[in-house]
Structures are given as structure tokens and as C-alpha cells.
């Protein structure tokens, strides 16, 4: 199974493509898609749409897992994150790829064992679970990997020593 995990954002959109056999998961691609804040929002969204389309075309994931935005203090930031998430979901849906959303607490619980884990703990656990030489950086890439790992756990794959709590999961 290939899963594309996404930590949505307009300036920085983290992504991770995981290959999983249900027992182990290995990163195939990990990074951040960037757009320039000096460009108009529609152009940035179009650029993000093209970049996400390229990832979907290159890796043909079985599912796209995306972190759901539940709360943002800055309304402007929340709007741009929501727009970026919409672009990712629309690109996946237009290709017939399953889309699953996870709350930050569900992701942290799946990867670090509790929903209040901080960024450093999530990065460290992603490093351990994916047997990476160092924690993924920037945090957007680590968050995308954590989202992908959460989806693998929910969809019947496994994360060593981690299980999502009953009742958590996806919005389909």
C-alpha cells in the first residue's frame, strides 16, 4: 500500500509517501512543497495544485491522509491552510484516490502514544518508526509522515507498539 500523508499549508505543505506492507512502513518520498508569500493566493493555490498532482501522478497512492485543521488563532492562517487542504483533497478525489482526515490529536496519539505530544516528540517518534538517521525536518515533513503513519494504523497496517484509540479514525 502507498499512502500520501499531507500536513496542509499554503507557504509550506508537508508531504510523505509511505510504502507499507501492513507490518513495516518505509518512506519513499518526504519533503515540503513551498509557495512564495509574495505571489497572489490564486497563483499559489494553482502551484500547489500542480505540485500535488505531480506527487499523485508519480506515486499513485492508494490513499491520501491529511491533517484536519480544527483550530487556529490566526484566521488568515486558518483560511490559507483550509484552502491548501481543499486543493489536496480535490486533486486526490479527482483521481479516484481515497481521502482520509485525521485530527492532530489522533495523529499524535497514533505516533507518540498520546494526543498532547509536542512537535519534537512527534519528530523523534517518526524518526524511530521509520528508522531514519535523524528526525525529519522541517516539522511540516515530520507531521506529514505522522499523518501517513496514522492512516496505516487505522487502515489495518501497523505501527510497532502504537494503536489508535477506539472510535478515532477517518471522515469518509
Alpha helix positions (H), 19-138: 41-59, 75-94, 104-112, 119-129
Distances (CA, A) of 131 to 26, 36, 104: 8, 32, 22
pLDDT digits (tens, 9 = 90+) for 73-86: 667 778 899 999 99
Cβ pair 44, 83 in contact under 8 A: no
pTM of the predicted structure, to 2 decimals: 0.87
Grid coordinates standing for 94?
Answer: 479527482
Which residues are marked as active site?
Answer: 7, 67, 140
Q: What is the pLDDT of residue 157?
A: 59
Show me where the domains of the chain are located.
2-154
pLDDT digits (tens, 9 = 90+) for 24-58: 899 999 999 999 999 999 999 999 999 999 999 99
Answer whether residue 172 shows pLDDT above 90. no
CATH topology of domain 2-154: Nucleotidyltransferase; domain 5 (3.30.420)
Amino acid at each position: 500500500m502507498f499512502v500520501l500523508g499531507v500536513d496542509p499549508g499554503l507557504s509550506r505543505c508537508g508531504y510523505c509517501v509511505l510504502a507499507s506492507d501492513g507490518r513495516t512502513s518505509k518512506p519513499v518520498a518526504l519533503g515540503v512543497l513551498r509557495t512564495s508569500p509574495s505571489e497572489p493566493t490564486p497563483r499559489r493555490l494553482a502551484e500547489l495544485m500542480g505540485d500535488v498532482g505531480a506527487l499523485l501522478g508519480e506515486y499513485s497512492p492508494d490513499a491520501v491522509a491529511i491533517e484536519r485543521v480544527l483550530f487556529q488563532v490566526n484566521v488568515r492562517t486558518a483560511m490559507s491552510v483550509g484552502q491548501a487542504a481543499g486543493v489536496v483533497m480535490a486533486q486526490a478525489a479527482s483521481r479516484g484516490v481515497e481521502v482520509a482526515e485525521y485530527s492532530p490529536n489522533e495523529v499524535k496519539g497514533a505516533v507518540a502514544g498520546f494526543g498532547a505530544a509536542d512537535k519534537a516528540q512527534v519528530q523523534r517518534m517518526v524518526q524511530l518508526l521509520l528508522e531514519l538517521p535523524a528526525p525529519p525536518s522541517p516539522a511540516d515533513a515530520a507531521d506529514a509522515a505522522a499523518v501517513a503513519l496514522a492512516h496505516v494504523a487505522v487502515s489495518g497496517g501497523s505501527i510497532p507498539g502504537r494503536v489508535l484509540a477506539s472510535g478515532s479514525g477517518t471522515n469518509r
